[in-house]
């Protein structure tokens, strides 16, 4: 178990055995199952830091949370949402949770459970939410065909948060609004570099659009002959893999972009395909080594592909259509008996209206090591060195600084003495000249 670098996480619409499952991608064996959460909503399965896994139940307004080492949900706490959520995203460090409920976006702080804001800018149901890897921005996509990029700081620290009510909520301005799709957006993916990279979206209007997040411009519009349902980039972001409602997966190279912004895919010659699924592709993910592509479909299959040869190397058959499936690192907490989480969970508020008299302060305790001497690494010191060696290096550096300071003092003193002598000699010369002039006048 511990030798695995990455594992595969899946969930399907048949929850008779479990809600979500962890698989060994090499052998196809089940490593861990999480139960009691019903059917997980499509693309809402997410990790909360390195300690928990969460998923929204499809039929109820409930967020289910499991400790990574337990098959049962967190005891003594229920996470009730204001409504049935169709999208969910959590920052990588687990600090913030964002959920799409109908056409509104709800933002919570995980440790306190405070509902920070409600954003109401979409016109139809939100289908996808994703944070950038650094957690500073998130992207929302909806059935109205619009894609919006939001700044977490701007939204969470809005000056009217303390005074906001349910009727005045949601008046926030996004960083970008992309309204190029004419039909519902079905999936999106973000570069690992976040706002310095690219955003790719697919839609039922049979197009895939790639945007530059640093400028907000559309770089490429790829047109297919079938509706699209899923998208992912490879590790180096040299290729994108696009899943269709017919079960085909297209590979498009970003290293040889077309001359025009609009590009029509009409043959396998300019866009190789993976063919095995018989129904719509719902999930795509690429392994950490960039060799394997994972695809989940409504045909109840999860297929692992060798990207270079386009051949399937592993097939996992489940009991229902695949709702969530992706590669993730193999967290050590999955196999530990003793669980000591570093993230604090709290029940989620359902409204923004708060009574200030009943407000309580929450002390957030986090089990993290703080680097008190960051300058050591920046200046070339290694924190793994013994303390005697570090102390010796400090002394050597201190002596060199003192010598440098003494040199500067000597130079300044010499400059001062030279300038004084120069000034005095100039005054003496001027006095002699004046006296000689006076003597000449008196003689005359």
Is residue 361's pLDDT more than 50?
Answer: no
SS3 419: helix
**Cα dist from 304 to 151, 271, 287, 290, 317, whole Å:** 35, 19, 10, 12, 12
Q: What is the overall mean pLDDT for the chain?
A: 85
**What is the reported pLDDT for 315?**
93
pLDDT digits (tens, 9 = 90+) for 243-266: 999 999 999 998 887 888 888 887
- Which tokens go with 4? 């695995």
Confidence of residue 372 (pLDDT cuts 50, 70, 90): very low
Q: Which of 36-40, 237-241, 376-380 has the lowest mean pLDDT?
A: 376-380
CA dihedral 431, 436, 439, 444 (to 10 degrees): -140
User: 387-433: per-residue pLDDT in tens?
Assistant: 566 566 667 777 778 888 888 889 888 888 888 888 888 777 777 77
**In this model, does residue 169 exceed pLDDT 60?**
no
Structure confidence at residue 354 (pLDDT): 58
Share of the chain above pLDDT 70, in %: 86
Which residues, including other chains, have CB under 8 Å from residue 158's CB and lie 6 or more apart? 117, 164, 172
Over residues 102-117, the mean pLDDT reads 91
* Per-residue tokens: 226: 């079938």
The answer on pLDDT for 167 being more than 80 is: no
> Greater confidence, 371 or 131?
131
Q: Tell me the pLDDT band of 2, cut-offs 50, 70 and 90.
A: low
The rounded distance, in Å, linking the Cα atoms of 424 and 62 is 88
Report residue 269's pLDDT band, with 50, 70 and 90 as the boundaries. low
- Specify the 3-state DSSP secondary structure of 412: helix
Question: What would the pLDDT profile of 274-326 be if each residue is shown by its tens digit?
Answer: 998 999 999 999 999 899 999 999 999 999 999 999 999 999 999 899 999 99
């Amino acid at each position: 178990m511990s030798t695995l670098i990455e594992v595969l996480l899946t969930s399907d619409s048949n929850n008779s055995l479990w809600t979500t499952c962890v698989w060994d991608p090499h052998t196809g064996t089940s490593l861990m199952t999480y139960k009691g959460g019903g059917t997980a909503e499509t693309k809402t399965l997410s990790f909360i830091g390195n300690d928990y896994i969460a998923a929204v139940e499809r039929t109820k307004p409930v967020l289910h949370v499991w400790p990574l080492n337990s098959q049962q949900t967190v005891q003594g706490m229920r996470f009730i949402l204001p409504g049935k959520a169709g999208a969910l995203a959590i920052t990588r460090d687990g600090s913030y949770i964002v959920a799409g409920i109908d056409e509104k976006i709800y933002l919570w702080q995980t440790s306190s459970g405070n509902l920070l804001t409600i954003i109401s800018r979409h016109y139809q149901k939100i289908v996808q939410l994703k944070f950038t890897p650094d957690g500073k921005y998130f992207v929302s996509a909806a059935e109205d065909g619009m894609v919006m990029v939001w700044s977490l700081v701007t939204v969470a620290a809005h000056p009217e948060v303390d005074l906001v009510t349910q009727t005045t909520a949601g008046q926030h301005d996004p960083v970008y609004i992309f309204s190029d799709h004419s039909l519902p957006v079905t999936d999106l993916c973000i570069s690992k570099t976040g706002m310095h990279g690219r955003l790719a979206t697919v839609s039922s209007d049979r197009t895939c659009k790639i945007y530059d997040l640093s400028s907000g411009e559309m770089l490429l519009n790829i047109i297919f002959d079938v509706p699209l349902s899923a998208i992912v980039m490879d590790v180096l972001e040299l290729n994108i893999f696009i899943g269709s409602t017919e079960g085909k997966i297209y590979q498009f190279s970003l290293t040889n972009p077309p001359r025009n912004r609009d590009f029509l895919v009409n043959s396998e010659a300019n866009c190789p395909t993976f063919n095995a699924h018989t129904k719509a592709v719902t999930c795509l993910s690429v392994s950490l080594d960039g060799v394997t592509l994972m695809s989940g479909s409504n045909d109840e299959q999860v297929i692992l592909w060798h990207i270079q040869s386009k051949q399937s190397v592993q097939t996992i058959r489940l009991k229902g259509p695949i709702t969530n499936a992706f590669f993730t690192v193999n967290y050590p907490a999955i196999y530990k008996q003793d669980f000591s989480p570093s993230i604090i969970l709290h029940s989620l508020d359902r409204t923004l209206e708060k009574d200030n008299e009943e407000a309580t302060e929450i002390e957030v305790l986090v089990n993290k090591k703080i680097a008190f001497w960051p300058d050591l690494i920046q200046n070339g010191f290694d924190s793994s060195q013994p303390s005697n060696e570090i102390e010796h290096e400090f002394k050597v550096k201190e002596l060199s600084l003192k010598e440098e300071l003494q040199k500067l003092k000597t130079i300044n003193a010499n400059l001062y003495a030279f300038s004084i002598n120069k000034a005095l000699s100039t005054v003496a010369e001027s006095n002699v000249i004046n006296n000689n002039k006076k003597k000449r006048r008196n003689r005359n």
